[in-house]
Structure 1
Amino acid sequence: MQRYFVNDLRDDTFYISQDDRHHIVTVMRLKIGDQIICVNNGRSAICAIEEITDDQVVAEVVKWEEESVELPVHVAIASGLPKGDKLEWIIQKGTELGASTFIPFTASRSVVKWDEKKAAKKVERWNKIAKEAAEQSHRQISPEVQSPVSLKQFIALAKDYDYKLIAFEEDAKQGEIAVLHSILKDIEKGQSLLFVFGPEGGLTNEEVSILKENGFQSCGLGPRILRAETAPLYALSAVSYQTELMR
């Protein structure tokens, strides 16, 4: 059953417009009486299509779903801007694995230079990728992808998280294995965890020092050195294993 994130909910009636209306009518070719799943503010419902107009699809709630498929902890992924479409890959697969927020930032070794003139369209595309991945993986929230920030701006955004970790390859080379394990053992349902990952080439020692001065801990992600687009997926998988499968 196709799933849609819908902002317009009134008295157990969803009003679906724009791209999602086009998808329902033109791509899926659904008709009045067909059922879809609508998601709003973290809740999902099985709905029946009641009306189709040139502007919108109207769907009535048949049954609200009670079970949550979201990670029991809120995980944000902060990525130093990588090259090419790697960030899109991180957003898509990270959404499937349960991330709640993505924060791109400009790191010292980021080759990509952020173009403010193209910013709005780029961020809109990233959020569309997250939304489509959330629908495909039956999420109940669509993660937010924020506009890229500087390291200083990022540190200001990070202050409200319960746990803050830096994936640092030098720690991995030295065999560090305790920090991530300890935090995942202690973190409680509803708490938040922010992971920081560097671009290709990783974070500099200076960047790591600045982050540590602002409440971050560095950690290894096993004995192998992971690519910029692989490390966030490893971390999210570890969170899921510890908080969902081991409890």
Structure 2
Amino acid sequence: MARYIRAFIEDSPENEGDEVLLAKDEGSHLSRVLRIQQGDAVELLDGKGGRFASKCLEVDRNQVRVGISKIEKVAPCKTQTRMAIALGKGNKWEEIIRPLTELGINRLTPLKTERTEGAFSGVKLKDKKERWIKIAREASKQSGNAWLPVFDSPIDFQELIKSPEAGEERWMASLTSGMRTESMGKEANLLSIFIGPEGGWSEREEAQAKEVGLSFLSLGPYTLRLETATVSALAVARQLLLC
């Protein structure tokens, strides 16, 4: 299997032949960890659909300069996917960012539910989002996904379901009821999948979801960990959307 060396960039080059000096952390990783050499191929990603083939021109201890040889714009999926996921204890919410980014999630929304077991103060939100973006970038480089997910601020479940977006289709993963359908999301601009806490949705939350028209999605008869439920639901959606 070919070895892919990837790096993340903030500013997208506009022309073939442009030279790019990688950020210090990216250059340090390539030079010290991956032992990149002059002439090695590097694939650059900007998280906004840009994929840039390049060749290493200069390697220093903390600095790598590359030359752009090809510019590619990866089209987004016709149906964008969002997962609204209940916050969990410890680092569980952070742990699911990597696999979901590898699978191509477009948007992640932390949910506060009646049985939510994890939370954090608004003061820490900025630091948390920076951490989430860092994890997503690493997953993007590992997988080659050219699109980084957008991270929303935490929101109450009841508040989120009140106001669907234009062209949005909404599914709620549930053990008590649900179905799988091959038409899932195919006519939607945005497919939102709601994943509850490990203690499950409350009866009131499921009743509220039915009242506002959410469809129910079955992930099988077994109680799943938060990480398993999120990855399983997105994998089903991506397969059905063929994107």
TM bracket (short chain): 0.7 to 0.9
Q: Which amino acid aligns with 1:42?
A: G
Structure 1 residue 37 displacement after superposition = 0.3
Change (3 A) 1:8 1:55: farther
Q: Normalising to structure 2: TM-score of the pair?
A: 0.83
For residue 223 of structure 1, what is the amino acid of its counterpart?
Answer: P
Q: Would the alpha carbon gap of residues 167 and 31 (structure 1) be closer, same or farther in structure 2, given more than 3 Å must change?
A: same
Match of 2:66 in 1: 59
| 1:125-146 alpha-carbon deviations (Å, 9 max, x no partner) | 1221111112111111122233
Q: CA 1:100–1:210 in 2, change beyond 3 Å: closer, same or farther?
A: same
- How far apart are 1:19 and its partner, in Å? 2.0
Q: Is the 8 A contact 1:202 1:228 kept in 2?
A: no
- After the TM superposition, which residues 119-130 of structure 1 pair with which residues of structure 2 at under 5 Å, given as runs? 119-130=125-136
Which residue matches 2:56?
Answer: 49
Residue correspondence of structure 1 range 190-209 to structure 2 within 5 A: 191-209=189-207
Shift of 1:29: 2.9
Matched with 1:183 is 183
Preserved contact between residue 8 and residue 16 of structure 1 (Cα < 8 Å): no
> 1:113 Cα deviation (Å)?
2.8
The one-letter amino acid of 1:7's match is E
Q: Tell me the TM-score normalised to structure 1 length.
A: 0.82
The CA distance in 2 between the partners of 1:224 and 1:71, in whole Å, is 31
Shift of 1:72: 5.4
Deviations 1:84-112 (A, max 9, x none): 22212221111122211111111110111
Amino acid in the other structure paired with 1:111? E
Alignment of 1:142-153 (within 5 A): 142-153=148-159
Does structure 1 retain, via aligned residues, the 8 Å contact 2:88–2:119?
A: no
Question: Which ranges in structure 1 are unaligned for 5 or more consecutive residues?
Answer: none
Q: CA RMSD in A?
A: 2.7
Task: Identify unmatched segments of 5+ residues in structure 2.
Answer: none
Instruction: Report matched runs for 1:196-235 at 5 Å.
Output: 196-235=194-233
Q: Does 1:94 find its partner at 2:100?
A: yes
CA distance in 2, matches of 1:44, 1:181: 34
What amino acid sits opposite 2:205 in the alignment?
Answer: E
Tell me if structure 1 keeps the 8 A contact 2:100–2:231. Answer: yes
Shift of 1:163: 0.9
Three-state SS of the structure 1 residue aligned to 2:22 is strand
Give the % identical residues. 28
> Counterpart of 2:109?
103
